[in-house]
Amino acid sequence: MATTVLAKPVVGIAANSSGTGYWLAGADGGVFALGGAPFLGSLGRQPLNRPVFAISTQ
């Protein structure tokens, strides 16, 4: 990801339940899955009413 150009900054990080990966959330709704965290979708490039400010897991 070092060379990835982001449209908006990363505003949150959340680890997956097994601790083998994590998700990064961008203010524009973009989500990046790293390590053992599965990619479950993203709202990057979709118009949002308000910017994302955090990410959480259950």
Render pLDDT for 5-44 as a digit per residue (tens, 0 to 9).
899 999 999 999 999 999 999 999 999 999 999 999 999 8
Report how far residue 48's alpha carbon sits from residue 6's, in angstroms, rounded to the nearest whole number.
16
State how far the Cα of 58 lies from the Cα of 45, in Å rounded to an integer.
Answer: 25
Per-residue pLDDT band at 1 (split at 50, 70, 90): confident
Q: What pLDDT, on a 0 to 100 scale, did the predictor assign at position 39? A: 97
Q: What is the pLDDT of residue 35?
A: 97
pLDDT at residue 2 in the model: 83
- Whole-number pLDDT of residue 4: 85
Global confidence as pTM: 0.88
Residues 6 or more apart whose CB falls under 8 angstroms from that of 51 comprise 8, 11, 27, 28
